[in-house]
Amino acid sequence: AIGDVAGHDIEAAATMGQLRNLVRGNAFDRTDPVDALMTRLDATISGLRIRTAATAILARLGPKTDGGLPVRWCNAGHPPPLLAGADGTVRVLDGRREPLLGLTRPVRRTSQETALAPGDTLLLYTDGLVERRDRPIDEGIAELLDELAGASKLPLAEICDLLLATAHREDDIALLAVRAR
Protein backbone atom coordinates (compact mmCIF):
# COMPACT_ATOMS: atom_id res chain seq x y z
CA ALA A 1 0.00 0.00 0.00
CA ILE A 2 1.04 3.57 -0.62
CA GLY A 3 -0.91 6.73 0.10
CA ASP A 4 -0.85 10.44 0.67
CA VAL A 5 -3.02 12.66 2.85
CA ALA A 6 -3.88 16.25 1.98
CA GLY A 7 -1.92 18.72 4.07
CA HIS A 8 1.60 19.15 5.41
CA ASP A 9 1.07 19.66 9.13
CA ILE A 10 1.03 17.49 12.24
CA GLU A 11 -2.68 16.80 11.76
CA ALA A 12 -2.03 15.40 8.27
CA ALA A 13 0.77 13.20 9.64
CA ALA A 14 -1.50 11.92 12.42
CA THR A 15 -4.28 11.19 9.92
CA MET A 16 -1.83 9.29 7.70
CA GLY A 17 -0.89 7.19 10.72
CA GLN A 18 -4.57 6.44 11.36
CA LEU A 19 -5.14 5.44 7.74
CA ARG A 20 -2.02 3.26 7.72
CA ASN A 21 -3.29 1.40 10.77
CA LEU A 22 -6.75 1.00 9.22
CA VAL A 23 -5.22 -0.47 6.05
CA ARG A 24 -3.09 -2.88 8.08
CA GLY A 25 -6.01 -3.87 10.32
CA ASN A 26 -8.45 -4.32 7.45
CA ALA A 27 -6.01 -6.31 5.29
CA PHE A 28 -3.93 -8.23 7.83
CA ASP A 29 -5.57 -11.64 7.71
CA ARG A 30 -8.05 -11.17 4.92
CA THR A 31 -7.91 -12.65 1.46
CA ASP A 32 -10.50 -10.23 0.07
CA PRO A 33 -9.72 -8.70 -3.33
CA VAL A 34 -7.98 -5.32 -3.13
CA ASP A 35 -11.03 -3.49 -4.47
CA ALA A 36 -13.14 -4.92 -1.62
CA LEU A 37 -10.44 -3.93 0.90
CA MET A 38 -10.36 -0.37 -0.49
CA THR A 39 -14.17 -0.19 -0.39
CA ARG A 40 -14.00 -1.35 3.24
CA LEU A 41 -11.33 1.28 4.02
CA ASP A 42 -13.51 4.00 2.52
CA ALA A 43 -16.50 2.82 4.59
CA THR A 44 -14.35 2.72 7.73
CA ILE A 45 -13.13 6.29 7.16
CA SER A 46 -16.74 7.40 6.76
CA GLY A 47 -18.03 5.34 9.68
CA LEU A 48 -15.36 6.61 12.05
CA ARG A 49 -15.89 10.16 10.75
CA ILE A 50 -12.23 10.69 9.96
CA ARG A 51 -12.07 14.05 8.23
CA THR A 52 -9.57 13.60 5.43
CA ALA A 53 -8.90 13.61 1.74
CA ALA A 54 -6.37 10.96 0.83
CA THR A 55 -5.10 9.07 -2.17
CA ALA A 56 -4.00 5.45 -2.00
CA ILE A 57 -3.08 2.38 -3.98
CA LEU A 58 -3.62 -1.03 -2.50
CA ALA A 59 -1.82 -3.81 -4.37
CA ARG A 60 -1.49 -7.54 -3.87
CA LEU A 61 1.12 -9.75 -5.49
CA GLY A 62 1.09 -13.46 -6.36
CA PRO A 63 1.18 -16.28 -6.05
CA LYS A 64 3.43 -16.86 -9.05
CA THR A 65 1.92 -18.74 -11.99
CA ASP A 66 3.13 -19.85 -15.41
CA GLY A 67 1.98 -16.45 -16.69
CA GLY A 68 4.23 -14.55 -14.28
CA LEU A 69 3.67 -12.88 -10.93
CA PRO A 70 0.12 -11.49 -10.89
CA VAL A 71 -0.42 -8.08 -9.35
CA ARG A 72 -3.87 -6.68 -8.71
CA TRP A 73 -4.28 -3.10 -7.55
CA CYS A 74 -6.98 -0.62 -6.65
CA ASN A 75 -6.34 3.09 -7.06
CA ALA A 76 -8.19 5.76 -5.08
CA GLY A 77 -7.09 8.97 -6.81
CA HIS A 78 -3.35 8.23 -6.54
CA PRO A 79 -0.74 8.68 -9.29
CA PRO A 80 -0.74 5.49 -11.39
CA PRO A 81 1.72 2.64 -10.82
CA LEU A 82 4.54 2.20 -13.33
CA LEU A 83 5.87 -1.05 -14.77
CA ALA A 84 9.49 -1.19 -15.92
CA GLY A 85 9.88 -4.33 -17.99
CA ALA A 86 13.00 -6.47 -17.90
CA ASP A 87 13.19 -5.75 -21.65
CA GLY A 88 13.64 -2.00 -21.00
CA THR A 89 10.08 -0.92 -21.78
CA VAL A 90 8.30 1.27 -19.27
CA ARG A 91 4.58 1.90 -19.09
CA VAL A 92 1.91 3.46 -16.94
CA LEU A 93 -0.53 0.98 -15.41
CA ASP A 94 -3.49 3.26 -15.76
CA GLY A 95 -7.06 2.38 -15.07
CA ARG A 96 -10.34 3.95 -14.23
CA ARG A 97 -9.88 7.14 -12.19
CA GLU A 98 -11.67 6.72 -8.88
CA PRO A 99 -12.40 9.29 -6.17
CA LEU A 100 -10.02 10.02 -3.33
CA LEU A 101 -10.70 8.41 0.02
CA GLY A 102 -12.83 10.47 2.38
CA LEU A 103 -14.27 12.91 -0.16
CA THR A 104 -17.61 11.33 -0.94
CA ARG A 105 -19.83 8.74 0.57
CA PRO A 106 -18.12 5.35 0.23
CA VAL A 107 -18.17 4.00 -3.32
CA ARG A 108 -17.67 0.51 -4.67
CA ARG A 109 -14.08 0.37 -5.85
CA THR A 110 -12.70 -1.53 -8.83
CA SER A 111 -9.32 -3.09 -9.52
CA GLN A 112 -6.98 -3.84 -12.39
CA GLU A 113 -4.59 -6.72 -12.90
CA THR A 114 -1.41 -7.47 -14.81
CA ALA A 115 1.40 -9.99 -14.51
CA LEU A 116 5.04 -9.23 -13.85
CA ALA A 117 7.57 -11.27 -15.80
CA PRO A 118 10.90 -12.16 -14.16
CA GLY A 119 12.98 -8.98 -13.91
CA ASP A 120 10.00 -6.62 -14.20
CA THR A 121 9.81 -3.79 -11.66
CA LEU A 122 6.61 -2.34 -10.23
CA LEU A 123 6.93 1.22 -8.91
CA LEU A 124 4.45 2.93 -6.61
CA TYR A 125 5.18 6.53 -5.61
CA THR A 126 3.57 9.62 -4.16
CA ASP A 127 2.85 12.78 -6.13
CA GLY A 128 5.83 14.56 -4.57
CA LEU A 129 8.02 12.64 -7.03
CA VAL A 130 6.25 13.96 -10.14
CA GLU A 131 4.35 17.11 -9.19
CA ARG A 132 5.69 20.64 -9.53
CA ARG A 133 3.91 23.96 -9.39
CA ASP A 134 5.15 24.99 -12.84
CA ARG A 135 3.89 22.01 -14.90
CA PRO A 136 1.04 19.51 -15.18
CA ILE A 137 1.45 16.24 -13.28
CA ASP A 138 1.28 14.29 -16.58
CA GLU A 139 4.56 15.92 -17.63
CA GLY A 140 6.13 14.80 -14.38
CA ILE A 141 4.93 11.24 -14.93
CA ALA A 142 6.33 11.31 -18.50
CA GLU A 143 9.68 12.49 -17.13
CA LEU A 144 9.61 9.73 -14.51
CA LEU A 145 8.96 7.17 -17.26
CA ASP A 146 12.07 8.37 -19.11
CA GLU A 147 14.21 8.23 -15.96
CA LEU A 148 12.92 4.78 -15.10
CA ALA A 149 13.54 3.45 -18.62
CA GLY A 150 17.19 4.34 -18.39
CA ALA A 151 17.54 2.73 -14.97
CA SER A 152 15.30 -0.34 -15.17
CA LYS A 153 18.17 -2.84 -14.95
CA LEU A 154 19.74 -1.27 -11.83
CA PRO A 155 19.21 -2.81 -8.40
CA LEU A 156 16.03 -1.52 -6.74
CA ALA A 157 17.85 0.56 -4.13
CA GLU A 158 19.83 2.30 -6.86
CA ILE A 159 16.68 3.00 -8.87
CA CYS A 160 15.06 4.60 -5.82
CA ASP A 161 18.21 6.61 -5.05
CA LEU A 162 18.38 7.87 -8.64
CA LEU A 163 14.70 8.86 -8.72
CA LEU A 164 15.02 10.68 -5.41
CA ALA A 165 18.23 12.44 -6.50
CA THR A 166 16.57 13.81 -9.65
CA ALA A 167 13.28 14.76 -7.96
CA HIS A 168 12.27 18.40 -7.66
CA ARG A 169 11.31 18.34 -3.98
CA GLU A 170 8.31 20.53 -3.31
CA ASP A 171 6.40 17.85 -1.39
CA ASP A 172 7.10 14.72 0.60
CA ILE A 173 8.04 11.64 -1.42
CA ALA A 174 7.52 7.94 -0.83
CA LEU A 175 8.57 5.12 -3.16
CA LEU A 176 7.77 1.43 -3.16
CA ALA A 177 9.57 -0.74 -5.72
CA VAL A 178 9.14 -4.48 -6.22
CA ARG A 179 10.98 -6.68 -8.71
CA ALA A 180 9.65 -10.05 -9.84
CA ARG A 181 12.03 -13.00 -9.79
- Spell out the domain ranges in the chain: 2-179
Distance CA 158, CA 105 (A): 41
Question: How far is the C-alpha of 15 from the C-alpha of 18, rounded, in Å?
Answer: 5
CA dist list (Å): 145 to 40, 103, 140, 151: 32, 29, 9, 10
Query: Which listed CATH number (3.60.40.10, 3.40.50.10210, 3.20.20.100, 3.30.470.10) goes with 2-179?
Result: 3.60.40.10
pLDDT at 168 over 90: no
CB 119 within 8 A of CB 180: yes
H helices within the chain, ranges in order?
10-27, 34-47, 137-151, 156-166
What is residue 79's predicted lDDT score, i.e. its pLDDT? 96
What type of residue is 29? D
113-123: average pLDDT: 96
pTM for the model: 0.92
